[in-house]
Amino acid sequence: MNHNPDTELVERLKAGDISAYDTFFLKYYKLLCLNAYWFLHNEQEAKDIVQTFFLDIWDKKLYLGFNGDVKGYLHTAVKNRCLNYIKKQKAYLEKQETFSNMQEDTFTTNTDTIPDYYKQLRASLNDMGGQKRVAIQMVYLQGKKYQEAADEMGISINSFKTHLKNGLKVLRHAFNNKDH
């Protein structure tokens, strides 16, 4: 009979055996880090993704879904997490670039207004209501997606969009009524 050693580990994991989890981690951690590094070309980001994945395996009980080719499952899961990370980073960088271009367009004629602009932006954000401010900070300063931010705030996606829209209105109003 051909016995796969991972089958025994998975059964022990499903029974809640923490030592099986440790064995599983030691067996696959370095291999999965190499797999992640191949996609990300950054050692620390690769390690972070794999460590988070292993935490999720235990905390979210992902091991309950392990069937058949565990090694293949692990590689595919890490690959998907890397691709999602790359996609998220790309979206974040695009937002940063858009914001940077807006700043350049706004201040090409008079660089003396830059400190005033930041003071006004900071003051407007501080004066703004809590959830509107948090929504703007999560999307534009932290680069989070709407659904991710809504989940962290504990509100529906539609409520989140409303807070974001209202916060942007407040900022537009503050800057349109200010003589630069």
* Residue 63: CA count within 13 A, CB half-sphere: 23
Chain CA centroid to CA 33, Å: 19
CATH class of 107-176: mainly alpha
Residue-by-residue pLDDT tens, the chain, 180 positions: 456 778 888 899 999 999 999 999 999 999 999 999 999 999 999 999 999 999 999 888 888 888 888 898 999 999 999 999 999 888 878 877 777 666 555 555 455 566 676 777 777 877 887 888 888 888 887 888 899 999 999 999 999 999 988 888 888 887 777 654
Give domain limits for the chain: 5-86, 107-176
Q: State the Cα–Cα distance between residues 142 and 99, nearest whole angstrom.
A: 13
Domain 5-86, architecture per CATH: Orthogonal Bundle (1.10)
Q: State the Cα–Cα distance between residues 16 and 83, nearest whole angstrom.
A: 30
The pTM of the whole model exceeds 0.75? no
Measure Cα distances from 167 to 95, 174, 179 in Å: 17, 11, 20
On whether the CB atoms of residues 103 and 140 are closer than 8 A, the answer is: no
Q: CATH topology of 5-86 equal to that of 107-176?
A: no
